């Protein structure tokens, strides 16, 4: 600070004067920049920074260090837990994929066995139906052969009757069945 002195005038009124006001255009110097106050400012600076250092090193920094350690421990724990969950998930996915592959293989085996069983049943039924159909065809052919033979017998009889009637209508004479049969065979 600039030194201020109080003087009295001849009339007895006090007047204050400051040293250094003439060098600065009549104004006093800014106290932090006044060289006469540097030693006291340095003293208080060292005192306050020392107190601040003491308080920070004893109270604030240990608390911050503990908080940072707790956070780091929590982060490490969370990362370890996440890694364990990731490994569990990967194991579950592998187990799921294995179970899915086993299920697909089992389903393919079941489908193949079912197809084979159905094909075997179809073949057995087809053989039964073929045998039944062959029996029916043989029976039908037998009936057809009997009907044909019967029809052929009837045809000879009908032909002989028709021939007898035609001869009778043309000639007016009556022909016997024995004469017609002899004429047809001969």
pLDDT tens-digit readout, 41-68: 999 999 999 999 999 999 999 999 999 9
The residue-averaged pLDDT of 25-36 equals 79
More confident residue, 46 or 30: 46
pLDDT beyond 70 at 83? yes
Interatomic CA distance for residues 97 and 95, integer angstroms: 5
pLDDT single digits (tens) 64-75: 999 999 999 999
Q: What does the block give as tokens for 142?
A: 């037998």
Q: What is the pLDDT of residue 76?
A: 96
What string of DSSP letters covers 109-157? Answer: HHHHHHHHHHHHHHHHHHHHHHHHHHHHHHHHHHHHHHHHHHHHHHHHH
DSSP single-letter state for residue 7: E
pTM: 0.39
Tokens 């009757």 locate to 161
The residue-averaged pLDDT of 17-22 equals 50
Average pLDDT, the chain: 84
pLDDT single digits (tens) 136-159: 999 999 999 888 888 877 777 787
Apex 161 CA angle, 157 and 165, nearest 5: 170
């Amino acid at each position: 600070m600039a030194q201020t002195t109080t003087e009295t005038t001849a009339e007895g009124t006090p007047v204050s004067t400051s040293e250094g006001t003439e060098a600065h255009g009549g104004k006093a110097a800014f106290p932090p920049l006044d060289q006469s106050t540097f030693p006291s400012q340095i003293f208080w600076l060292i005192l306050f920074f020392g107190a601040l250092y003491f308080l920070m090193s004893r109270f604030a920094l240990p608390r911050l260090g503990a908080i940072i350690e707790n956070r780091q421990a929590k982060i490490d724990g969370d990362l370890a837990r996440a890694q364990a969950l990731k490994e569990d998930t990967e194991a579950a996915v592998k187990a799921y994929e294995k179970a899915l592959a086993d299920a697909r293989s089992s389903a393919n085996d079941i489908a193949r066995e079912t197809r084979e069983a159905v094909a075997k049943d179809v073949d057995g039924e087809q053989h039964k139906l073929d045998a039944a159909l062959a029996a029916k065809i043989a029976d039908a052919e037998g009936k057809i052969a009997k009907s044909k033979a019967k029809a052929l017998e009837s045809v000879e009889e009908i032909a002989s009757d028709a021939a007898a009637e035609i001869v009778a209508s043309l000639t007016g004479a009556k022909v016997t069945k024995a004469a017609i049969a002899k004429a047809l065979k001969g």
